[in-house]
């Protein structure tokens, strides 16, 4: 490189000044002038005001809110389903249908005793007549006389979940000893719950993918808009020898700030919503509203894992936005460069 | 340093703007590129800056065949060329200092490593008192000197100037010409595209005259 083309030090600069700029200055005055030379902190190459960030920030906040809400809802449903599943799979039920000549009380006792002979059972409870009547109350009303109706009776047997009894053997034995008995191990319910939980997770993942896709597309449009609005800056950077990765880095900084603010706002809002719902549920235990909400949605507790998930979603959104902006800028600049350099695709407007 | 051989260029399906260009730009040379408006001066400068590929012919830049250079490498090669425009192309939100320091900033250099060099260069072009001023406050001549300083900041081997005196009065044009001559004396090759005959008459230099897409060179 040509070392002489530019003054490097004060002495050489003074000696190489063009005649129009040559000024004789005493050494002391020069020193004073040098001390006075102060520059402001370097301004960003891309002014923040040149990027319409507010609308994008709101969009990212909404997307982050929806993503975190979906994540929280999925984690809530999974927790509820898992709690139901463990409750149901802790017990089995023996149902005995009334029959002519059947001594119901003896049959109930016999069924309980037979069940308890199996390894893995813990306790057997015969549901008495009043409990059975309460069970039927919602449909048949109060003051029910069970002797008038052919109502089946139940024996509830709690089991060791980790070491469950041989259900098939128990079923066969009961069928042989008490033909009116029917063993329900709640497998059908458990299977349905598991499949419901899986379906909910899949739906949640689908919603998350849609939210992320919408967000990426929004960021692509926003980045292209920002590039178009700052074309003059991109052109100047091109003329001073900037690589596309440098230009992308400048845009990336802005989009990172916007996405961090947006995703933090959306994620915090979602986390606050879960926390408030949880507090409301805790403070209104045993009220009709709370019972209704619990029946519909289960517990609003998402736990530390849920909050960590929300935090992770915020990070993912910020990273996705930044990377999308980077790749969009690099791709667009490459396109601009290609078109600019190809006379067959250029309109030649800048030619003279 | 730069060699063009039978270079031709047409935009789209239009007529050839430049035809059979064969010439050299030697190291440390000084030349004017002139011709009537629309003759293709800016197009030729764009070819010299590697911003445009020719439709035909061969261009050698700094000893390398341009057609063989991957696009990703072009910014590195462009850093060896400084370019100045008639409309200055300074960034309005940056001060004179920041505009001039831009080439070093895009190369990822730390501000503290080049601060003194930028200030010295600004003093050299006569803008020592305008360091912290935004371009909107500068006069046409000052803007052009800032643009020249920016082009020189990374010590280019060749400086391309497109109508650098187009927006300044004759005395300022004379001062800018002196700046280019001083720069050339220090070792940088200079190509000044202009149709200002009075400016060219002030210097006994090589003239490249473009007429209807053809180039005539008067040494």
Chain B residues 139-158 with CB within 8 Å of chain A: 150, 152-157
Measure CB to CB from residue B186 to each of A5, A237, A341 and give the nearest one. A5
Ranges of chain A with pLDDT below 70: 1-37, 50-51, 285-286, 289-300, 346-352
Establish if B86 touches chain A: CB-CB under 8 angstroms: no
Measure CB to CB from residue A6 to each of B46, B76, B152 and give the nearest one. B152
Q: Is residue B83 part of a domain?
A: no
Domain count of the fold of chain B: 1
Cβ–Cβ gap A352/B41 under 8 Å: yes
Measure CB to CB from residue B106 to each of A21, A37, A241 and give the nearest one. A241
Q: Is residue B132 part of a domain?
A: yes
Q: Is residue B4 part of a domain?
A: no
Cross-sheet strand order for the sheet of B16-25: B16-25, B2-10, B56-61, B64-65
Q: Is residue B130 part of a domain?
A: yes
Rounded percentage of chain A residues whose pLDDT exceeds 70: 82
User: Which chain B residues touch A339 with a CB distance below 8 Å?
Assistant: none
ipTM: 0.86
CA distance A322 to chain B (A): 20
Cβ–Cβ gap B40/A341 under 8 Å: no
User: Chain B residue with minimal CA distance to A352?
Assistant: B38
Residue A304: Cβ within 10 Å count: 7
Q: Is residue B149 part of a domain?
A: yes
Establish if B170 touches chain A: CB-CB under 8 angstroms: no
List pLDDT tens digits, range B70-91. Answer: 888 888 999 999 999 888 899 9
Cβ–Cβ gap B46/A352 under 8 Å: no
Q: Is residue B81 part of a domain?
A: no
- CA separation for the pair A265, A60 (Å, rounded): 9
Give pLDDT, residue A36.
53
Give pLDDT, residue A26.
44
List pLDDT tens digits, range B1-59. Answer: 899 999 999 888 888 889 999 999 999 999 999 998 888 888 899 999 998 889 999 99
Q: Is residue B106 part of a domain?
A: yes
Give pLDDT, residue A47.
83
Tokens of A123: 């306790």
Give the domain extent around B130: 93-154
List pLDDT tens digits, range B156-214. Answer: 999 999 988 887 788 888 888 988 898 899 899 999 999 888 889 988 999 999 998 89
Q: Is residue B167 part of a domain?
A: no
One-character DSSP codes across A116-170: HTSTTEEEEEE--HHHHHHHHHHHH-SS--GGGTT--EEEEEEE-SSS---HHHH
Residue A232: Cβ within 10 Å count: 12
Q: pTM, whole model, 2 decimals?
A: 0.71
Give pLDDT, residue A334.
85
E runs forming strands in B108-188: 158-162
Cβ–Cβ gap A343/B76 under 8 Å: no
């Amino acid at each position: 490189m040509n070392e002489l083309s530019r003054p490097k030090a004060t002495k050489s600069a003074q000696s190489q000044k063009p005649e129009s700029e040559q000024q004789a200055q005493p050494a002391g005055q020069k020193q004073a002038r040098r001390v006075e030379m102060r520059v402001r902190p370097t301004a960003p190459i891309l002014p923040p005001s040149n990027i319409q960030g507010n609308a994008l920030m709101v969009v990212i906040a909404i997307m982050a809110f929806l993503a975190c809400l979906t994540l929280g809802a999925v984690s809530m449903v999974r927790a509820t389903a898992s709690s139901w599943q463990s409750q149901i799979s802790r017990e089995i039920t023996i149902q005995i249908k009334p029959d002519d000549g059947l001594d119901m009380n003896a049959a109930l006792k016999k069924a309980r005793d037979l069940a308890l002979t199996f390894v893995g059972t813990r306790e057997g409870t015969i549901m008495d007549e009043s409990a059975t009547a309460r069970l039927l109350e919602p449909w048949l009303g109060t003051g029910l006389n069970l002797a008038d109706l052919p109502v089946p009776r139940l024996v509830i047997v709690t089991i060791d979940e980790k070491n469950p009894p041989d259900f098939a053997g128990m079923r066969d034995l009961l069928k042989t000893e008490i033909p009116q008995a029917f063993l329900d191990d709640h497998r059908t319910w458990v299977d349905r719950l598991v499949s419901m939980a899986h379906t909910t997770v899949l739906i949640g993942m689908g919603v998350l993918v849609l939210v992320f896709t919408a967000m990426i597309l929004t960021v692509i449009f926003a980045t292209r808009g920002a590039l178009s609005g700052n074309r003059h800056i991109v052109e100047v950077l091109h003329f001073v020898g900037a690589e596309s990765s440098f230009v992308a880095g400048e845009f990336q900084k802005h989009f990172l700030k916007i996405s961090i603010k947006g995703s933090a706002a959306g994620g915090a809002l979602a986390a606050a919503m879960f926390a408030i719902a949880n507090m409301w549920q805790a403070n209104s235990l045993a009220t009709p509203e709370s019972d209704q909400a619990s029946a519909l949605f289960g517990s609003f507790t998402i736990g530390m894992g849920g909050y960590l998930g929300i935090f992770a979603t915020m990070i993912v959104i910020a990273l996705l936005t930044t990377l999308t902006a980077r790749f969009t800028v690099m791709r667009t600049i490459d396109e601009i460069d290609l078109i600019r350099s190809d006379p067959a695709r250029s309109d030649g407007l800048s030619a003279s | 340093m730069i060699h063009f051989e039978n270079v031709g260029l047409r935009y789209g399906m239009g007529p050839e703007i430049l035809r059979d260009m064969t010439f050299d730009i030697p190291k440390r040379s000084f030349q004017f590129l002139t011709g009537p408006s629309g003759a293709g001066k800016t197009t030729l400068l764009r070819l010299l800056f590697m911003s445009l590929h020719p439709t035909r012919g061969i261009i050698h830049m700094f000893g390398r065949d341009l057609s063989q250079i991957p696009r990703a490498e072009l910014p590195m090669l462009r850093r060896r060329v400084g370019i100045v425009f008639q409309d200055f192309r300074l960034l309005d939100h940056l001060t004179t200092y920041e505009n001039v320091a831009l080439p070093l900033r895009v190369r990822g250099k730390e501000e503290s490593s080049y601060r003194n060099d930028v200030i010295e260069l600004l003093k050299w072009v006569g803008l020592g008192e305008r360091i912290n001023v935004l371009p909107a406050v500068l006069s046409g001549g000052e803007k052009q000197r800032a643009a020249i300083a920016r082009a020189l900041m990374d010590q280019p081997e060749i400086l391309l100037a497109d109508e650098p005196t187009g927006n300044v009065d004759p005395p300022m044009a004379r001062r800018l010409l002196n700046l280019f001559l001083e720069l050339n004396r220090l070792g940088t090759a200079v190509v000044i595209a202009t149709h200002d005959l009075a400016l060219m008459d002030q210097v006994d230099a090589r003239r490249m005259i473009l007429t209807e897409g053809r180039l005539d060179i008067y040494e």
